[in-house]
């Protein structure tokens, strides 16, 4: 804590992993001798830079850019870029730290990193977004490369932003290096299913958790927070698997629709028109908009937080349990606080932590890198099958590891230990570097 003052989200993420891996270090003294814990908590490289850009009125703005290259024992640094006013070092480090273990869990050869900026894209014109992305990449490009560091999207960074970022990378380097960014549009080297992958993957993970308890999505009420990339495709797949998605939200409030959320309408409002969720009820009479309240008050059996960190505290978790929630799949990163997670554990709720449940996005990014490296493009069906197989594999790994370490059904401990061991073994093999 004293080494990283004020970085509360990073402290929270590290504490959660260390709580789990104590069991492993006891059994493996070689990790202790090589100071793996101390090394794994220290990013290999942290980059902070100035991003200056001009808005449509001619005013100059200065933002701060970050890239945390956390761990490359398993492969090039891999992890998204987040554009949101709340971004600072502590958020990027927590996301980068989680990413290391998440990427290890996928079984694919990718290290962990994360980046972003405190830039707020809300209400900005297309030209302003492009100006910002170009300025951001003009500094970041020197640190990237398909064998070095490969960013993707995250909150506030979708295929439009990735297009502008890739365009500027290509212009500066004079290299059509498709594998340097993932989440690209299909028109220039993107993979089928990458846009949908995090949400689809989270739904597949919950399907596996339910199956492990002899249950299915069929007829279950599902509540999803957020209405961005992860939320939209979580809703789409949960519905396809038989769930009834009754509510979703944005940072202003939530919509509840007992007839089932019209996902195409949410997508039209949020992704195409870049509007606010409140507009949903003007076009869909069965919907009701509730401003300034948390979506977790809507009763459901399956909760899928897909907006941001720390959105389910002990209070919201207790309310969910009281209302009959039996499964939680984290589409977002660290949306549940440690107190919230404890409430779910005590109540026997099946709890899929983000680093397992939302790993489908980065896994499909790795599939995009494979396609780019072989100058190939796989079909949508084949890519989705690969994604589902990967999610089934992650579920199995977490489940089996939790059993092995005497905490059956504890996916958090299972995910932390399985991810940690994979990275720790690679670090040991690579020597003191
Ligand atoms: P988007 O920007 O597409 O959507 C974010 C959604 O969450 C929006 O509806 C937004 O509402 C809401 N939201 C964001 N911040 C807050 C906040 N502070 N309070 C309340 N609501 C908020 O982001 P993504 O869907 O890509 O990401 C969502 C989460 O999933 C993040 O935690 C991200 O790290 C995680 N994730 C994303 C992956 C990806 O592939 N995109 C991969 C793995 C994890 P509003 O529009 O009002 O801002």
DSSP codes of every residue in 4-15: STT-HHHHHHHH
pLDDT at 326: 98
Closest CA to 391 of 342, 341, 331: 331
Whether residue 32 is found in the same domain as residue 165: yes
pTM for the full model?
Answer: 0.97
Characterize the bridge pairing of strands 244-250 and 253-257: antiparallel
Q: What band does 2 get if pLDDT is binned at 50, 70 and 90?
A: confident
Verify that 173 and 201 share a domain, yes or no: no
Domain co-membership, 339 together with 216 = yes
Q: Check whether 393 is labelled as a binding-site residue.
A: no
Q: Which of 228, 200, 210, 414 has the alpha carbon at shortest distance from 302?
A: 210
Has 113 been labeled as part of a binding site? no
Cβ distance 253 to 289 under 8 Å? Answer: yes
Burial of residue 109 (number of CB atoms within 10 Å: 0-12, 13-18, 19+): middle
Ligand 1 atom having least distance to the Cα of 231: 25
Q: Ligand 1 pocket check: which of 160, 306, 307, 362 to mutate, most ligand atoms within 8 Å of Cβ?
A: 307
Centroid of chain to Cα 127:
27
Length of the chain: 433
34 with 63, same domain: the answer is yes
Please write down the long-range contacts of 36-43, taking CB distance under 8 Å and 24 or more positions apart. Answer: 36/424, 36/427, 36/428, 39/427, 40/71, 40/100, 40/420, 40/423, 40/424, 40/427, 41/14, 41/97, 43/68, 43/69, 43/70, 43/71, 43/93, 43/96
The CATH number that applies at residue 18 is 3.40.50.10860
Which of 307, 329, 348 finishes a domain?
Answer: 348
Domain annotation covers residue 131: yes
> For residue 330, what pLDDT is reported?
98
pLDDT at 114 over 90: yes
Same domain, 233 and 283: yes
Examine the fold and report which residue of 285, 316, 348 is the final residue of a domain before the chain moves on: 348
* 57 occurs within a structural domain: yes
Same domain, 19 and 140: yes
Q: Convert the pLDDT of each residue in 196-233 to its tens digit.
A: 999 999 999 999 999 999 999 999 999 999 999 999 99
Judgement on whether residues 165 and 303 belong to the same structural domain of the protein: no
Same domain for 93 and 129, yes or no, is yes
Question: Same domain, yes or no, for 40 and 105?
Answer: yes
Q: Is residue 62 part of a domain?
A: yes
Interval 12-39 mean pLDDT: 94
Number of domains forming the structure of the chain: 2
Residue 232 falls inside a structural domain = yes
Q: Tell me, what's the ipTM?
A: 0.98
**Residues whose CB falls within 8 Å of the CB of residue 40, separated by 6 or more in sequence, listed in order:** 71, 100, 420, 423, 424, 427
DSSP 295: G
351 CA → ligand 1 middle, Å:
20
pLDDT in tens, 251-292: 999 999 999 999 999 999 999 999 999 999 999 999 999 999
For residue 161, pLDDT beyond 90? yes
CB distance 68 to 80 below 8 Å: no
Pairing of strands 287-291, 77-83: unpaired
Residue 302 placed within a domain: yes
- Domain span including residue 129: 8-178
Judge whether residue 1 has pLDDT over 90: no
Same domain, 129 and 203: no
How remote is the CA of residue 304 from the centroid of ligand 1, in Å? 12
The per-residue pLDDT for range 363-417, each reduced to its tens digit, is 999 999 999 999 999 999 999 999 999 999 999 999 999 999 999 999 999 999 9
Longest alpha-carbon distance in the chain: 64
Which pLDDT score is estimated for 433? 87
421 as an active site residue: the answer is no
Q: Which CATH number do you get for residue 311?
A: 3.40.50.720
Q: Kindly state whether residue 357 falls inside one of the protein's structural domains.
A: no
User: What are the pLDDT digits (tens) for 323-373?
Assistant: 999 999 999 999 999 999 999 999 999 999 999 999 999 999 999 999 999
Residue 30 lies in a domain: yes
Q: Residue 84 Cα, ligand 1 centroid: separation in angstroms?
A: 9
**Does residue 221 share a domain with residue 162?**
no
Q: Kindly state whether residues 100 and 167 are assigned to the same domain.
A: yes
Q: Among the three residues 149, 178, 207, which one is the final residue of a domain in this structure?
A: 178
Q: Identify whether 399 is part of a domain.
A: no
User: What's residue 41's pLDDT?
Assistant: 97
């Amino acid at each position: 804590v004293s080494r990283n003052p004020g970085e509360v989200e990073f402290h929270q993420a590290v504490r959660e992993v260390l709580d789990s891996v104590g069991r492993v270090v006891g059994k493996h003294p070689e990790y202790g001798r090589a100071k793996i814990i101390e090394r794994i908590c220290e990013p290999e490289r942290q980059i902070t830079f100035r991003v200056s850009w001009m808005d449509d009125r001619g005013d100059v703005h200065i933002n701060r850019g970050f890239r945390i290259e956390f761990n490359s024992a398993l492969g090039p640094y891999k992890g998204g870029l987040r554009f949101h006013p709340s971004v600072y070092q502590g958020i990027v480090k927590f996301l980068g730290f989680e990413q290391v273990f998440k990427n290890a869990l996928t079984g694919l050869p990718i290290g962990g990193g994360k980046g972003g900026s405190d830039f707020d894209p809300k209400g900005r014109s297309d030209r302003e977004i492009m100006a910002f992305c170009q300025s951001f990449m003009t500094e970041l490009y020197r640190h990237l490369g398909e064998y070095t560091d490969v960013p993707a999207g995250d909150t506030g960074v979708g295929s439009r932003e990735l297009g502008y970022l890739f365009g500027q990378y290509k212009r500066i380097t004079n290299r059509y290096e498709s594998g340097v960014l993932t989440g690209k549009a299909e028109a220039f080297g993107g993979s089928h299913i990458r846009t949908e992958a995090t949400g689809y993957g989270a739904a597949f993970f919950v399907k596996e958790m339910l199956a492990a308890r002899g249950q299915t999505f069929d007829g279950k009420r599902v509540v999803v927070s957020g209405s961005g990339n992860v939320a939209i495709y979580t809703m789409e797949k949960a519905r396809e698997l038989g769930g009834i998605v009754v509510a979703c939200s944005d940072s202003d409030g939530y919509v509840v629709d007992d007839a089932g959320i019209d996902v195409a309408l949410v997508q039209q409002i949020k992704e195409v028109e870049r509007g606010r969720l409140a507009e949903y009820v003007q076009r869909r009479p069965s919907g009701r908009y509730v401003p300034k309240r948390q979506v977790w008050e809507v009763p459901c059996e399956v909760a899928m937080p897909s907006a941001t960190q720390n959105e389910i505290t002990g209070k919201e978790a207790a309310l969910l349990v009281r209302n009959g929630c039996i499964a939680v799949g984290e589409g977002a990163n660290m949306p549940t606080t440690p107190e919230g997670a404890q409430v779910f554990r005590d109540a026997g709720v099946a709890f899929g932590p983000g680093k397992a449940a939302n790993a489908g996005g980065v896994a499909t990014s790795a599939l995009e890198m494979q396609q780019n490296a072989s100058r190939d493009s796989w079909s949508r069906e084949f890519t989705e099958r690969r994604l589902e197989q990967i999610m089934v594999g992650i579920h199995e790994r977490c489940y089996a590891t939790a059993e092995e370490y005497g905490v059956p059904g504890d996916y958090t401990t299972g995910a932390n230990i399985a991810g940690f061991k994979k990275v720790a073994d690679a670090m040991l093999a690579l020597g003191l570097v």
